[in-house]
Amino acid sequence: MLAGVTTQPTMAADPAAGRLVANMCMTCHGTDGYARLPNAPHIGGEPQSYLEAQLMAFKTGSRQHEMMSVVTAGLSAQQIADVSAWYAAHTAVAALPEGSHAADAPDLCVSCHGADGISTLLDAPHLAGEDRLYIDAQLKAFKRGKRSHDIMTEIAASLSDEDIREFANWYASISLEIRPPGSKED
């Protein structure tokens, strides 16, 4: 090592280490991120920065949930980076149901969540194939201030319960496939 050079270790995320952390998640999210419980979201193939931000939010208490708050309390920032890298290494592939057209997707949502529920932003989640009740519950959480985010809080505030039901139905009707790391995108 060169004298006088300080190597500042950056927190490199290691998906292989994250695969081991995912053993703690699999009963609810699967090891591939395809949810095994209806109230747990699919997380495979989500943007790494979104996953990491949500896990840190649960850990620090800015987002709360009886299960996830407990799970993240026991994880270090390194484990959170690693497990986020593991799930993000997967690829989410969405397909609209037969007879359904992208042009009918909710106009208010497509710029960030896509017509098919595949996010177009690194800080926004995919919605494809999430359970109707999960989407509904999250929108109401933003609307009522239980969960907060500068963009989503404002959008959710403008939605009626009927809009929420309709948009949740749109995204929940899409089928989602999660492909393992290393598989190519279509």
Binding status of residue 41 toward ligand HEC by CB under 6 A: yes
Closest CA to 81 of 30, 23, 17, 149: 17
**Nearest CB to ligand HEC, comparing residues 101 and 184:** 101
**For ligand HEC, which stretch binds (CB under 6 A), given 9-17, 26-34, 95-103, 173-181?**
26-34
Q: Are strands 175-179 and 91-95 parallel, antiparallel or unpaired?
A: antiparallel
Binding status of residue 24 toward ligand HEC by CB under 6 A: yes
Q: Is 175 helix (H, G, I), strand (E, B) or coil?
A: strand
CA atoms within 13 A on the CB side of 86: 25
Q: What are the residues whose beta carbons fall under 8 Å from the beta carbon of 137, sequence distance 6 or more? A: 39
Integer CA distances (angstroms), 182 to 45, 83, 164, in order: 12, 16, 36
**For ligand HEC, which stretch binds (CB under 6 A), given 3-11, 94-102, 105-113, 176-184?**
105-113
The one among 14, 56, 65, 181 contacting ligand HEC by CB under 6 A? 65
**For ligand HEC, which stretch binds (CB under 6 A), given 7-15, 92-100, 108-116, 176-184?**
108-116
Window 122-141: contact mask with ligand HEC (x via CB under 6 A): -xxx-x-------x--xx--
Q: Is residue 154 packed enough to be buried (19+ CB in 10 Å), middle (13-18) or exposed (0-12)?
A: exposed
Closest CA to 47 of 2, 98, 114, 146: 114
Altogether, the residues listed in the chain come to a count of: 186
**Nearest CB to ligand HEC, comparing residues 4 and 58:** 58
Binding status of residue 151 toward ligand HEC by CB under 6 A: yes
Q: How far is CA 12 from the centre of its chain?
A: 21
**Nearest CB to ligand HEC, comparing residues 89 and 124:** 124
**For ligand HEC, which stretch binds (CB under 6 A), given 9-17, 52-60, 97-105, 178-186?**
52-60
Q: Which residues bind ligand HEC (CB under 6 A)?
A: 21, 24-25, 27-29, 39-41, 43, 51, 53-55, 65, 67-68, 71, 83, 106, 108-109, 111-113, 123-125, 127, 135, 138-139, 149, 151-152, 155, 167
